[in-house]
Amino acid sequence: MGNLYSQTFPPKARWSVQQMPDLKGKIAIVTGANVGIGKETAKQLLARVYIAARSKSKAETAIAELKAETGKEALFLELDLGDLVAIKRSAQAFLAAEPSLNILIANAGVWCPPMDELTKQGYDLQLGTNALGHWYFTQLLLPGLLKGVSEGGARVVTLSSVGSDLAKPVIWDAFTDTPARRKLTLYDLYNQSKLFNLLLSIEYARRYADTGIIFSSLNPGNIETDLLRRVTGIQRSVLGMLLYPVQQGALTSLYAATSPEATENGAYYIPWARRGVANAKARDPVTGARVWEWMEEQIKGI
């Protein structure tokens, strides 16, 4: 409980965006950067930034706003994390334009959508978008990341949440629209997807430790974002007392993606820009390997 308390009510940050190193010449992708934490992260990155998002119109609005605020010209990369075929198309388009990649921030996510909503291939929308989609996108971008290692370094930062600490043990028969899935709450499904974010980031670090790519994951904190648009009434009022502005939400992502101090492979960071310890379920190598193998099965033939 102490770990949860520390993440919910973090101490004042000791690191700020003013401490970011010069990223001139580096190339970054931030998924879901048209709104919220992702948009703020893209705003602060001093690099060539691709905003990877499903909606071109929303991304173009964000790009225009960011240019007005910063003078920087972000680029749009079409990405639908709920469709494995579209993910492959997106990665191919990026690698055709930019053969190297220095920073990938897996920021996009969905939170508690209606139970009937599934991905294009029929997976639970939260698991498919938050975990499977990002895992596959990272797989496809590995050639660019490997080249990025020799061109200033390469990092993959995956956003999880405090929900990973609240997750039940993995419900293996609840990944598609099964009776087992229907017995779970939307919160259970969200927490499981965020546990997967940690499991897979740590597993990436294990499997690619000798490549020079640095993999890390984090809890950005309880942040006021568009993800909470469906929350109303008393629940919204209670949540409002626990939420922080989006600028603070981006802080830990920026630290993990850029700080010379954040180079430990497989590390987990907590609000604000602090080294944390992922929960025991996320660190279990047996579960991590099993989840990885399931992921590999899902992309065969894509």
- Res 161 pLDDT > 60: yes
| Percent with pLDDT over 70 in the chain | 93
Mean pLDDT throughout 101-126? 97
State the pLDDT at residue 241. Answer: 57
Direct distance between the N- and C-terminal alpha carbons of the chain, in angstroms, rounded to an integer: 42
On the question of a cis peptide bond just before residue 172, with omega within 30 degrees of 0, the verdict is no
Residues 167-226: tens digit of each pLDDT: 999 999 999 999 999 999 999 999 999 999 999 999 999 999 999 999 999 999 998 876
Q: Does domain 2-297 have CATH number 1.20.210.10?
A: no
Task: Using CB atoms within 10 Å of the CB of residue 122, give its burial: 0 to 12 exposed, 13 to 18 middle, 19+ buried.
Answer: exposed
Please give the positions annotated as active site. Answer: 160, 190, 194
Residues 9-65: tens digit of each pLDDT: 899 999 999 999 999 999 999 999 999 999 999 999 988 999 999 999 999 999 999
Mean pLDDT throughout 148-164? 96
Query: Between these two residues, 8 and 113, which has the higher pLDDT value?
Result: 113
State the pLDDT at residue 46. Answer: 82
- Interatomic CA distance for residues 117 and 126, integer angstroms: 9
Residues 276-296: tens digit of each pLDDT: 999 999 999 999 999 999 999
Query: Between these two residues, 75 and 228, which has the higher pLDDT value?
Result: 75
The DSSP result for 187-234, as a single string, is: HHHHHHHHHHHHHHHHHHHHHTTTSS-EEEEE---SB--GGGTT--HH
State the pLDDT at residue 51. Answer: 98
Alpha-carbon dihedral sign for residues 77, 80, 81, 87: negative
Tell me how crowded residue 242 is: count the other CB atoms within 10 A of its CB: 11
- Res 2 pLDDT > 70: no
Query: Which tokens go with 80?
Result: 């639908």
Q: How much is the mean pLDDT over the chain?
A: 93
The structural domains of the chain, with segments of one domain joined by +, span: 2-297
State the pLDDT at residue 236. Answer: 46
Residues 214-267: tens digit of each pLDDT: 999 999 999 887 655 555 555 545 555 578 899 999 999 999 999 999 999 999
Query: Which tokens go with 201?
Result: 């980031």
User: What per-residue string of b and e applies to 219-232 under the rule 16 or more CB within 10 Å gives b?
Assistant: bbbbbbbebbeeee
